[in-house]
Amino acid sequence: MDGNGRWAAARGLPRVEGHRRGVEALRRTVRAAGDLGIGYLTIFSFSSENWSRPPSEITDLMGLLRRFIRKDLVELHKSNVRVRIIGERDDLDRDICLLLQEAEDLTRNNDGLTLVVAFNYGARQEIARAARKLAIEVAAGRLSPDDITSEHLGTHLHAPDIPDPDVIIRTSGEQRLSNFLLWQAAYSELVFVPINWPDFDRTAFESAIEEYRRRERRFGGLAANSGS
């Protein structure tokens, strides 16, 4: 959800206004994803590195998350959305941890869209955490280093049951992953959209999906028409 700050700066508004409009874009995108029959939508809403932002902006972002869960959770539940959270919870305020837990608990049995909120999330941190868990198993003598496979490491990530993303859409014209789902993105198609997140709408979403559909995915194999 990149470009909130630039959207606000272009209009002479404070950054928080960009983030507020970003939450509206999120609501639109969740509705569109449900309508398009998408199974999983993961949003990168606060990275492990975002703690380096000014304290006032961090307070604003935490406030917006609180408000989003308090205001939108019932609606999400009614729409059969299941909410999952990935990221480290240890550094978060206790009331935020409780809200995140409440969102997961309330929507646990919903079988529509799964909305995965990456909050206080960093992919390298996630992989290091998985490696630590494997190291503990090895140290306890329950696992031999020779038995560690990529599948095995994958089971120690935050949400191992969630499929790898088919497509990652980044807004605002930036063309990098910025520590987002590095493990899971091994074969994801990347689509870069040159508009700021607050302007992201159903049309932009659909055209990003269209671009993804035109890609040929080979997963390291050969193209269908590459001959014998």
Give the catalytic positions in this structure. Answer: 2, 50
Cβ proximity to ligand FPP: between 52 and 149 the closer is: 52
- List the one residue from 33, 41, 42, 68 that touches ligand FPP (CB under 6 A): 68
Cβ proximity to ligand FPP: between 50 and 125 the closer is: 50
Task: Mark the segment that binds ligand FPP (CB under 6 A) among 1-9, 75-83, 89-97, 136-144.
Answer: 1-9
Residue corresponding to tokens 């987002």: 180
Cβ proximity to ligand FPP: between 19 and 126 the closer is: 19
- What are the helix (H) ranges across the chain? 4-9, 15-35, 55-78, 94-107, 123-139, 150-154, 202-214
Shortest Cβ 105–ligand FPP spacing (Å): 17
Query: Binding mask 23-62 vs ligand FPP (x if CB under 6 A, - otherwise)?
Result: x--x------------------xx---x----------x-
Minimal CB distance residue for ligand FPP: 5
CB contact at 8 A, 29 and 1: no
| Count of alpha carbons within 13 angstroms of residue 157, beta-carbon side | 23
Cβ proximity to ligand FPP: between 62 and 191 the closer is: 62
User: Three-state SS across 167-205?
Assistant: EEEECCCCCCCCCCCCCHHHHCEEEECCCCHHHCCHHHH
CB contact at 8 A, 81 and 27: no
Residue 4 is a binding residue for ligand FPP (CB under 6 A) = yes
Q: Which of 80, 56, 86 is nearest to 179 (CA)?
A: 86
Question: Which two tokens mark 121?
Answer: 């999330």
Task: Mark the segment that binds ligand FPP (CB under 6 A) among 17-25, 79-87, 106-114, 146-154.
Answer: 17-25
Residue 100 is a binding residue for ligand FPP (CB under 6 A) = no
Shortest Cβ 22–ligand FPP spacing (Å): 4
| Whole-number Å distance between alpha carbons of 107 and 114 | 9
- List the one residue from 33, 38, 41, 65 that touches ligand FPP (CB under 6 A): 65
Residue count at the site for ligand FPP (CB under 6 A)?
Answer: 19
Cα-based distances in Å from 205 to 133, 171, 211: 37, 10, 10
List residues near ligand FPP by CB under 6 A: 1-6, 19, 22-23, 26, 45-46, 50, 61, 64-65, 68, 117, 172
